[in-house]
Amino acid sequence: MLEDATMLWNGLLTIAIGSFMWWIRGVNSKIDNLWKSLAHTREDIPKTYATKVDVEKDVEKIMDRFDRLDNKIDNLLERTSRD
């Protein structure tokens, strides 16, 4: 009788520990996938943002256009003041 109870207990513990280890393995693989996804995201983020040099070039182009527009307005005002 004692041997049957011991065998039953060993079987239950084996099933419980095996299930726990299988669950831990699944959680560990999901954590690994998250780390890989995070690394991939870190690589992709700089591709979507402008660099400081790009922003400076764009601001310079805008300022040049404002300067040309300012010159045109000045010329227009000078012509209308002469008339």
Question: CB-based burial of residue 76 (10 Å sphere; 0-12 exposed, 13-18 middle, 19+ buried)?
Answer: exposed
Taking the model in full, what pTM does it have? 0.48
- For the segment 11-26, the average pLDDT, to the nearest whole number, is 96
Provide the pLDDT for residue 63: 97
Amino acid identity, position 24 = I
Q: Half-sphere exposure of residue 70, counting CA atoms within 13 Å on the CB side?
A: 6
Where along the chain do its domains lie?
Answer: 1-49, 50-83
Question: Cα–Cα distance between 21 and 49 in angstroms, integer?
Answer: 43
pLDDT at position 9: 93
Q: What is the separation, in whole angstroms, between the first and last Cα of the chain? A: 121
